[in-house]
Amino acid sequence: MVYGMMGGYGGGMMGDGLYGYGWVFQLLIIVLLVAIFWWLLRGQRFGYGTGKETPLEIVKRRYAAGEIAKKEYDSLKKELEK
C-alpha cells in the first residue's frame, strides 16, 4: 500500500498547517467567530447605541406590550417615582 508523501504520516508541510499547531489556529478562528456572533446579538437585543432604559421606561414598555396589568403598572410606577 502507498499512503502518499511521508509514508502516510503528517502529510508534509501543508497537511497539518503551521507545523503541528493547526488546531490552535482553528480554535482561534472558532473563538473569533463566536465572539463576533455574540457581539452582534448583544447589540441587537439591547438596542446598540440607544443607552440603557430606566426602570420606569421598562415598566412602561412592559405595560404597553401587555406583559403586566394596569393595577401592577400603577403600583410599580408609584414605587419607582418615590
Q: Which amino acid is at 44?
A: Q
Rounded to 5 degrees, φ, ψ at 66 are 85, 15
pTM for this one?
0.39
Q: What is the mean pLDDT of residues 36-48?
A: 71
Asked whether the beta carbons of 77 and 59 are under 8 A apart, the reply is yes
Q: What is the mean pLDDT of residues 57-74?
A: 92
Whether the predicted pLDDT of 50 surpasses 80: no
pLDDT at 5: 55
Instruction: Give the chain's mean pLDDT.
Output: 77
Domain regions of the chain by residue span: 23-80
